[in-house]
Every structure is written in C-alpha cells, then in structure tokens.
Amino acid sequence: MHKPLNLKSDYINVLLDTAAERTRERGSRFYEIEFGVSLRDLRLLRLVGNAPGISMGQLVNLSAIEKTLASKLVSVLVRKGLVERQIGLEDARQIQLSLTDAGVDLVLKAEPLGKKLEARFLHCLNEREIQMLKEILQKLIASEAASKDAFEASIAKLVEQKAATK
C-alpha cells in the first residue's frame, strides 16, 4: 500500500457539490412525499412561474439542468398538467412554457416548505453570513457565465492538441 498522497481535498467545487447534493436529496424526498414532484421538477416550475412564456433554451440556461434531461422533465410536467406549451407568437419555432392553474397552485403551496428547508440548512449561519454566501455564489455564477466562451475555446484547443498527438 502506498503512503497518503496529501492531495487537496477541499476544492470549492467539491464542497459546493457536496452541500448541494445533500440538500437536494433531502429536499427532493420532502417534495416528492408532499407534492409528488422532485426538487428538480420544482426548480423548473419555479422558473416557469417567474417567467411565463419562457423558452426551453432560456429554461435550460437558467436551471443549469442538461438540455435533454430538462426536456424530459418538462414533458413529464406537461403530462401531469402542471405546465403548458404554446407556440411562440413572434417565432413559431419557439415553444413558450407557462404554468397551468394546477402548476401555479403547486408552486405556491411548495414555497413555504422551500423556505423552511432552506432555513434548516442555513441554521448554522447568521444573517450576514447568509447574505455574504448568496452574494459570493451569485458572483461565481456570473463569472463562470462571462468566461464560458474562453473556456470553450480552451477545450477546443485541447481537443485539437490531443488529436494532433495521436
């Protein structure tokens, strides 16, 4: 057996992923029992509720859920009668999403539970720390979005280099 390598184990993305995964799993169990939808479903419903007429592309971008998965989830929400699809008025190729009355009702009923679950998760932080955490996360998200083109260019260059060495 080899000696411990003493590698960095507290990468920010790992810590964020761990916190998100644990809270997502717990929250999803509550929402599935109480409302028959997962936390991801509810995330999509909230985004559609906040932006009636949102396109699928916009929803994918805002939700950070992979395009194919988001499309499948929306199809299920449509079948459940929580979301409706409409052909875009300005561009018939664009599908606009909005909540049905049942979707609005579900999101409004779920909101108090969401606030309660978030408060439980953040109970170890004071108000100033919570505000700082939100600001830092929003800053990181904005920075990542702003650097997306440069990142994609770096990936393309790496792929080219790897292909050239084969």
CATH of the domain at 102: 1.10.10.10
Cα dihedral sign, 71-84-95-145: negative
My answer on whether 110 and 132 are in the same domain is no
My answer on whether 135 and 84 are in the same domain is no
Confidence category of residue 95, pLDDT binned at 50, 70, 90: confident
Is the pLDDT at 88 greater than 90? The verdict is: no
My answer on whether 65 and 40 are in the same domain is yes
My answer on whether 105 and 71 are in the same domain is yes
| Residue 4 placed within a domain | no
Q: How far apart are CA 59 and CA 72, in angstroms?
A: 13
Domain that holds residue 64: 12-124
Is the pLDDT at 92 greater than 90? The verdict is: no
Say whether 59 sits in a helix, a strand or coil: helix
My answer on whether 35 and 89 are in the same domain is yes
Is the pLDDT at 64 greater than 90? The verdict is: no
Q: How far apart are CA 86 and CA 88, in angstroms?
A: 6
Q: How far apart are CA 58 and CA 95, in angstroms?
A: 11
My answer on whether 145 and 164 are in the same domain is yes
My answer on whether 104 and 155 are in the same domain is no
For residue 164, the tally of other CB atoms under 10 A from its CB is 7
My answer on whether 56 and 116 are in the same domain is yes
Q: What is the mean pLDDT of residues 117-127?
A: 94
| Residue 72 placed within a domain | yes
Q: How many domains does the chain have?
A: 2
Whether the model pTM is above 0.85: no
My answer on whether 32 and 111 are in the same domain is yes
Closest CA to 77 of 53, 50, 106: 106
| Residue 46 placed within a domain | yes
My answer on whether 64 and 84 are in the same domain is yes
| Residue 19 placed within a domain | yes
Q: Which residues contact 100 (CB under 8 A, 6 or more apart)?
A: 81, 82, 83, 84
My answer on whether 28 and 102 are in the same domain is yes
| Residue 159 placed within a domain | yes
Q: Which residues contact 45 (CB under 8 A, 6 or more apart)?
A: 37, 77, 82, 83, 99, 103, 106, 107, 110
